[in-house]
Amino acid sequence: MLNIDIKERHQEFFLDFGFEFNPNYSTYEKSFPLGKQAIFVHFTEYPDTNYLEYNLGVRIDTVEELIHRFLPSLSDYSSRSLTLIQTPNKIDPSIPNRFAITSDFEMEEALIKAEKFFIKNGFKWLDKMSHPLTLENAFVAKENYTFKSQNFIYNAFRATALAKLYKPEDYLIVRENFLNMVEKQQVTPFTIASYLQFLSHLDQEV
C-alpha cells in the first residue's frame, strides 16, 4: 500500500491554478463563463503494479444542456457530462498514457512529472479548448471523430451543436457530413431517429 495521499499531494498545486476539488465526482474543477474545466486523477491498485492516470476535460454548458434533451442518457448525466475529454499523452507524447507505480518513490516521481506537464501543456490546452470555436474545429477536424470515453454519436451531437451555436456559417456542411456518417455507422434506429430529431430542432428553433 503506497503511503502518498494523491488527493492531498495534488490539492495545493491545482488550487494555485484555480482548480478546486469536487468530492462528488473526485475531480479538480475550474469554472469559466461558458462552463468548466475538469481534471480527473485515477489511481488503481493491483497486487504487483499500480497505475496512475489523468484525464482532462472541458464542458460547454449550453452544448451539454442542448444535446441531452435528445440523447438517451441518465437524468442527472447532463449536469455533469463533459463536452471533450482527452488524455495527457494525446496532448504531449512525452507523457505516458498512464504511470506504472510500485513504490512511493515512483509515485512521487510520477506526480512531479504530471505537475510539470500541466504547467507546460495541460493548463494551456484546457484554456485553448475552453473557446467554443477552437473546440468546434477540434471535433470537425478529428479524422476518426473519437475522443477519450466518448462514442461516435456523442461526437456527432456535440460537433453539430457547436457548429450551429458558435460557427453557424459552417453548420450546414458539418450537419451534412455528420448525418452521412451517422447513417453509415452501426447505430440503432432509435439513435438515428434521435439525431434526426435533434437536427430538426437545430434547423427550426436554435
* Digit-coded pLDDT (tens) for 49-78: 999 999 999 999 999 999 999 987 766 677
Question: In this prediction, what percent of the chain has a pLDDT beyond 70?
Answer: 91
User: Global pTM?
Assistant: 0.90
pLDDT of residue 149: 45
- Return the higher-pLDDT residue of 53 and 206: 53
Q: Which amino acid appears at position 187 of this protein?
A: V
Give the pLDDT mean for 109-126.
97
pLDDT of residue 33: 97
Whether 43 and 147 have beta carbons less than 8 Å apart is answered as no
Taking residue 184's Cβ as centre, other Cβ atoms within 10 Å add up to 8
Taking residue 140's Cβ as centre, other Cβ atoms within 10 Å add up to 19
Residue 206 has pLDDT above 80, yes or no: no
pLDDT of residue 5: 84
